[in-house]
Structure 1
């Protein structure tokens, strides 16, 4: 791990009022734990600049009133509006005792899937690990050269000597996403399938037309004009015989 020195002063009063006064004077209230006893101290806010605003993990050499202690930052609180540092927790590094910290993830190499047009998506930028202080590296290195479209690297795929991963083994760290939904269908295969579908549709239409022109037994239908006989047109009148009405004429007697 990288190292950084910070000089602090012990504080006896640990109340909220004292903490506010420290912040007004440009100092940050802190606590150191993990050893035999807890130590409350404060340090200048500007001394944390290289520690806080970086993804790297540092071993901090705390110098508090003549005593030097190795530690790592465990937690930090920011003001919700001004984003200034409110409080920092440090855990003391003790020989032979494992500690839990978050390590940054560094990707190396060129993904084969990205060169094919895929999109690289990094889901995890830090991983929580547990290890002895002297075995903790600066970062977790992950090679992505063999990462192709549709594949991913999970926590269970990463193996670092003397490091125990706290995150779930199934957590995806990085993956390569296809640029479109039809990622598994090649254009040439898709065109062939479309052509086969069109040919099949034409064959079905041709068979249906032939069946419509012939009868079920393959013979011409009756009355369709194909047997040399014209179709009969018109029809006979139905109904009874028409009867003529009697005409009666009147005759006048002439006198």
Structure 2
């Protein structure tokens, strides 16, 4: 594991919204570590370094908790809905070689057959992987796929050591030919036919008046 994923953290003893605001004002992030039957441990993370690490999904961090080292997986990140700054992080204790269940993003590569489009139905797939070898994504190639082609979770080529947790029949994406919207044309045709019919009636009435 890269040293770039090591953070020095402090044990937190003050709680509540007021304390959390003070922590964030100091460019730090309140967090809680739990798992493996241990009591939840409240800590404070360095803001900028944590933000850089958590740009990657399912980041595993080596925590230096006042001299004690602990591996932890970023399980949940709470952000301000407007400013999008990190407000709180949940971390789960992991161990070297231990397997965890995580959602891994699906990454699409290539282009489907000319005249077709692909629609992604599943943006991430659930996998069981080693905590220290979590893949950044699962690559799906759509190169040359024809109209009607579908890719399910069972079709995915998984990284070495990973196993599928999502239902195998779950649809990941499908390929199709875009359908033209003929509604406007159909309405125009109906209006034209109605107008023509109305014109025929008017002509008949005119002829009857002239007689």
State the TM-score, normalizing by the size of structure 2.
0.72
Counterpart Cα distance in 2 of 1:126 and 1:7: 31
Please say which structure displays the higher CA radius of gyration: 1
CA 1:125–1:118: 2 relative to 1, 3 Å: same
Residues 35, 94 of structure 1: 8 Å contact kept: no
The structure-2 alpha-carbon separation of the partners of 1:74 and 1:47, relative to structure 1 and needing over 3 Å to count, comes to: same
> Tell me, which stretches of 5 or more residues in structure 1 are unaligned?
183-255
Detail structure 1 runs of 4+ shifted over 4 Å in the superposition.
Answer: none
After superposition, give the CA deviation of every residue in 1:137-187 in whole Å (9 maximum; x if it has no partner).
Answer: 2321222235221212111222525333333333222222212259xxxxx
Partner residue, 2:48: 46
Larger % of strand: which? 2
2:141 alignment partner in structure 1: 143
Aligned residues: 178
Q: Secondary structure at the match of 2:52?
A: helix
Mean Cα deviation higher: 134-143 or 97-106 = 134-143
The 8 Å contact of residues 139 and 157 in structure 2, kept in 1 or not, is answered as no
Residue 100 (structure 1) aligns with: 101
1:11/1:42 contact within 8 Å kept? yes
Which residue number in structure 1 is paired with residue 207 of structure 2? none
Contact 1:154 1:174 in 2 (8 A): yes
Q: How does 1:69-218 map to 2 (within 5 A)?
A: 69-111=70-112, 113=113, 116-145=114-143, 147-160=145-158, 161-180=160-179
What TM-score do the two structures reach when normalised by structure 1?
0.61
SS of the residue corresponding to residue 120 of structure 1 reads: strand
**Cα distance in structure 2, aligned partners of 1:28 and 1:96:** 28
Task: Find the aligned partners of 1:57 and 1:80 in 2 and give their Cα distance.
Answer: 21
What is the alpha-carbon distance in structure 2 between the residues aligned to residue 23 and residue 61 of structure 1? 21
Give the unaligned 5+ runs of structure 2: 182-211
